[in-house]
Amino acid sequence: MIDVLSIFGLILGIGAILMGQFLDGGHLSTLVNGPAALIVLGGTFGAVMLQSPMNVFLRGLRIFSWVFIPPRFHTEETIARIVDWSNIARKEGLLGLEIVAEEEDDLFARKGLELLVDGSEPEVMRAIMELEIDARENFDSLAGKIYESMGGFSPTIGIIGAVMGLIHVMGNLSDPSKLGSGIAVAFVATIYGVGAANLLFIPISTKLKTLVNNEVNYREMIVEGLVSIAEGENPRNIQRKLEGYLDKTRVDDDAGELL
């Protein structure tokens, strides 16, 4: 499902600036400048490419879509499935979950079920699955931080663009007719740099950080449920325990986004 709030926020932020420019008597065309955009965006992406490993940079590009189409995890349905698994294990033993593991679509949950069927100790299960959670969290967090880095680079590169524009202006002092437009172009680069940082890159980084955290909470719930099955807990107690994770995602549930 599309995250309407992200789209509305982006439109509102950019629209407010453009409308302010229009109401102040300025022409919107003065904010459109190809060379300035090339300097700011090209320089920003180039700097991030230089500092990022290839796999981290590509992962960052892939999860960009999460900002507008966040991943969905159905927490309540998953809790119900885990309770069903615990009932099967209680009646048929852990080997009764072998078919369930083969039919499970979630690779992470399938791995946990396979560990259950293999008779792994609860502590071993938790260690293995939490190691995978930590590795995935660290990788996705690094990928999300490329946008935070962009938010740091773009204002500075915008200033570089402005200085370059002023250098061009200084080179045309003999022609006063070119000074006004040249200065305007120089400051457009600054607007692009600061605007991209505060309207795009930094908000995107923060949003991705929240989404990664939501995914971690969801996976931790699965781990807790499977470990509880391995420990032989009562299905009803498992359900009560896992329902505590709903509080972490209730806002997203109500918004129709995550979990």
The domain limits of the chain are 1-32, 33-66+73-255
Sequence-separated (6 or more) residues with CB below 8 Å from residue 200: 10, 147, 151
Residue 158 pLDDT: 92
**For each of the chain's 259 residues, which pLDDT tens digit applies?**
788 999 999 999 999 988 888 887 777 777 888 888 999 999 999 999 999 999 999 999 999 999 999 998 888 999 999 999 999 999 989 888 999 999 999 999 999 999 999 988 999 999 999 999 999 999 999 999 999 999 999 999 999 988 888 887 777 777 666 666 667 667 888 999 999 999 999 999 999 999 999 999 999 999 999 999 999 899 999 999 998 888 665 544 444 443 3
**Token pair of 84, please?**
């069903």
pTM of structure: 0.83
Residue 247 pLDDT: 63
Residue 176 pLDDT: 67
Burial string for 176-215 (b: 16+ CB within 10 Å, else e) reads eeeeeebeebbbbbbbbbbbbbebbbbbbbebbbebbebb
* Amino acid (1-letter code) at residue 145: K
Residue 182 pLDDT: 65
CB 128, CB 167: distance < 8 Å: no
